[in-house]
Amino acid sequence: MRRPVILIVEDEPGIADTLQYALRTEGFEPRWSASGEAALAAADDAALVILDVGLPDLNGFEVFKRLRARHETLPVLFLTARADEIDRVVGLELGADDYVTKPFSPRELVARVRSVLRRSAAPAGLSGAAPASFHCDDGKRSIHYYGQALDLSRYEYGLLKTLIGRPGFVFTRERLLALVWDDDTDSLDRTVDAHVKTLRAKLKAVAPMLEPIRTHRGVGYALAEDLPASRPQA
C-alpha cells in the first residue's frame, strides 16, 4: 500500500527534521516545505498538512485559506507557538482539523496525525459519530455508557454530548461555555471545570479504570479516542 504523504510546512529545519523522522518511522511519507508559497505548490498529493502558523512569507492562516480553497477536504493540523495563535485557531473556527502547541512531542504529534486521518476517512454522515462505548438518545436526552444509563444534569448532558460528537478534538472552556450554557445562566452554574468533575465521577462509577474525558492543560477537554469497545473488568 502507498504510504500517505504528509506535507510539513515549517520554516525551522530542526523541527521539520524531527517531524520527518517521526513520521517516516511510523509509516508515513513526509515532505517538507519551508515557506507558504512552496507549500501551496506541493500540497496536491498530500493526505494531510502539518502547518506552522509562523512562516516567513505568508502566515499559516493565509496558507490554510488558500489550501482549503483548492482542496476542500484536505485535513490540516496547525502547529502553534503562542496562546494568541491557539485562540485564533480554536476561537475563529477556521475549520482546522486539530492543532498542536510547540514544544510538542513527536510521538504525540504522530498520534494526532493518525487520529485526524482516521476521522477524515470516516464516511460522510458517520464522522463525529459517538464511539462504541457511548450511546446517545437525543429524543430522550439520555446517554448510555457501556450499556448503563447515566443520570446527568442538564449541563453534564450538554458537555458529554458535545465531547462525544467530536472524539479527540480539544474544546476550550470558552467554547464549551458557548456551546452548552445559555447566555443568561447564573454565573455560579457556568463553571465548566466543576461540571466536568461531577461528570467524571458518574463515568467512573460505571467504569472505574477508564478516564474518558482527558484534560489538555491550559487549553480544555477532549473525549478519549482509545476507549475499549466493551467495559474492562476491574
What does the binding site for Ca ion look like in residue numbers (CB under 5 A)?
Answer: 11, 52, 54
Name residues whose C-beta falls within 8 Å of residue 225's C-beta, 6 or more positions apart in sequence.
115, 131, 167, 168
Q: Would you mind telling me the total number of residues written for the chain in this entry?
A: 234
Q: How far is the CB of 115 from Ca ion (least distance, A)?
A: 24
Q: How far is the CB of 15 from Ca ion (least distance, A)?
A: 8
Closer by beta carbon to Ca ion, 11 or else 17: 11
Q: Which three cell numbers stand for residue 116?
A: 485526524
The DSSP call for residue 31 is: E
Q: How far is the CB of 54 from Ca ion (least distance, A)?
A: 4
Closer by beta carbon to Ca ion, 52 or else 97: 52
Name residues whose C-beta falls within 8 Å of residue 7's C-beta, 6 or more positions apart in sequence.
30, 31, 32, 33, 39, 42, 43, 46, 48, 49, 50
Q: How far is the CB of 30 from Ca ion (least distance, A)?
A: 17
Buried b (16+ CB within 10 A) or exposed e, 117-143: bebeeeeeeeeeebbebbbbeeeeeeb
Q: Which residue is nearest to Ca ion (CB)?
A: 54
Closer by beta carbon to Ca ion, 11 or else 29: 11
Closer by beta carbon to Ca ion, 85 or else 156: 85
Q: How far is the CB of 14 from Ca ion (least distance, A)?
A: 11
Q: For strand 134-137 and strand 142-145, is the pairing parallel, antiparallel, or unpaired? A: antiparallel
Closer by beta carbon to Ca ion, 8 or else 74: 8
